[in-house]
Structure 1
């Protein structure tokens, strides 16, 4: 799932998806990557990043190279969570569409904080809405097209009947190829609307899905969150805050005001800037504590009392409660499983 453009470097963990989409569209993407100086290292894909301008150039080059299909549609249609299959399992086993939308939180963390899809509900309608996107350029439009191609794809996978009552809305004017939208999406499409959104009946959000499988769904969530906890952010204020916590773990037990002072920020400024990046202060604290606990529990010589204190908990009992919430098991049980 590609990303609307913004100023920070963007994780390029979706590189294989671009290669696959280019193949479907009948061209080789390797010369484009080579011309733009893009490193293609699948062995360290989780560390790959790309600048927003270069990603835009890749998109434009792919659109120009594709002679049979509209590349952004194909990029969204062929998207899969190849790099983290547990997300695919989480989606496939979701009990409701509302529950499945948890994936958008992970997409913000893994791919781009600007992919901010939120549920808006009014009357008998609900909309999966892309936040922001005031003035949409041609490049941005391609990324919006790809994003909603992926959203519609997964929506059909989870609840095929919902498309009969769905419609798409886009903020921008109809592009020259507007007729291709309804031919591709097979649902009503409107341009010049107040938002970029997929609108569905509100009741569909909480209707049971046939693929619901509670046990596997819960297990997949734990595995995804564990993987995310192990992946520190690389850009923005979140990365700076995580780095400061890792350098000084005891700050995790301090107040937001104290931590903001360490960053030379007003507490409200810290909260606002984190919110702008799609995160909360408590969420960052939780994730770093979880990451440090996972690392420490692989060391046989650290006791839980010491670990609790090191990552800012008042006592072992508080740490154990938090770890059970994160991992679904106690720290002791987690360590025993790792040792097997």
Structure 2
């Protein structure tokens, strides 16, 4: 069984672009000799979601998927292997506005300003120190999830930027706060630079002079258009694309008092029920679908805890009785909660 996640993650408003997962998963599965569809099924993710390039996957679903891969691969460097397979299309508009940038410095500036477009999994900051520049990654999670996200983010930076720069350019140093993984030698081999584990910061150090390096894909005309598009998308992010995450977070908070209602969630978000439902429909979802998705994610996490009875789980999910929970779970997974629990 994959490592158990904290159920509170299901109430987080953090997310990741479905385009990112759709881009890296096939190559990652092939690398480990696994089947992508089987991994998605095990994690409870509908493959059709990955076909929606502008959709965002909740953080808990992203982590469940990659912890399923971790369970099957037993590779503590999973995040590193994910990051190696990042392509521009994984970041959609963010990727293309970076591609069109004139210099590495301009590309990094746009990464920092627009990274929320790919989800809200962490934040990037640029720190200058004399003739060196440090690009730091700040991840709010710890443990195995934090390790995975950090390695995927930092390795992804290098995998993304390397083809855009003249050959031979590499970071001065790559830093990870966590300990060294299995097969540590593959890290400096990929980064083409020293890698420090147990460091004080997560990120990469580069020579400040590299910020003026022209990108092979520079396109000033396209950059203007993509910058405009990125700004518009960022403005709409909280009120539009990220609305699903906000609704999930509110539903999670209200589950302790019973079943969340459209009216209560809308009020918490300073919206009318009609307005909230209309905006959810624009995202291809309804309120009940969002609530059901949250409950399913939580149910599968709670079922991994043997100390929780079905009655306990039903109450945690806001159901009035365990039979209602069992019927809902059969609808989600075509099996009873106990059958799911016994899968191991």
Instruction: State how far apart, in whole Å, the 2-side matches of 1:104 and 1:246 are.
Output: 34
Question: Which structure 2 residues correspond to residues 1-340 of structure 1 after superposition, within 5 A?
Answer: 8-9=12-13, 10-13=15-18, 14-25=20-31, 26-42=33-49, 44-52=52-60, 54-66=61-73, 71-82=78-89, 85-101=92-108, 102-112=110-120, 114-132=121-139, 136-161=142-167, 163-164=169-170, 166-231=172-237, 232=240, 233-234=242-243, 235-236=245-246, 244=270
Render the CA deviation track for 1:217-275: whole Å, top value 9, x for unaligned.
Answer: 1112112333444551223599999964899x9xxxxxxxxxxxxxxxxxxxxxxxxxx
SS at match of 1:177: coil
Instruction: State how far apart, in whole Å, the 1-side matches of 2:102 and 2:78 are.
Output: 32
Which structure 1 segments of 5+ residues have no match?
250-340
Render the CA deviation track for 1:45-84: whole Å, top value 9, x for unaligned.
Answer: 53443342x4333222213434899543332122234366
Contact persistence 1:96–1:205 (CA under 8 A): yes
Instruction: State how far apart, in whole Å, the 1-side matches of 2:139 and 2:157 are.
Output: 17
SS at match of 2:54: helix
Residues 36 and 155 of structure 1, relative CA distance in 2, 3 Å threshold: closer
Paired residues, what number? Answer: 241
Instruction: State how far apart, in whole Å, the 2-side matches of 1:142 and 1:32 are.
Output: 17
Contact persistence 1:22–1:28 (CA under 8 A): no
Residues 170 and 70 of structure 1, relative CA distance in 2, 3 Å threshold: closer
Contact persistence 2:17–2:118 (CA under 8 A): no
Contact persistence 1:104–1:116 (CA under 8 A): yes
Q: TM-score, normalised by structure 1?
A: 0.60
Q: Aligned Cα RMSD in Å? A: 3.6
Q: CA deviation at 1:212?
A: 2.8
SS at match of 1:128: strand
Residues 193 and 84 of structure 1, relative CA distance in 2, 3 Å threshold: closer
Render the CA deviation track for 1:257-304: whole Å, top value 9, x for unaligned.
Answer: xxxxxxxxxxxxxxxxxxxxxxxxxxxxxxxxxxxxxxxxxxxxxxxx
Which structure 2 segments of 5+ residues have no match?
1-5, 251-265, 276-344
Instruction: State how far apart, in whole Å, the 2-side matches of 1:242 and 1:205 are.
Output: 44
Instruction: State how far apart, in whole Å, the 2-side matches of 1:155 and 1:106 are.
Output: 16
Range 163-172 or range 80-89, more displaced: 80-89
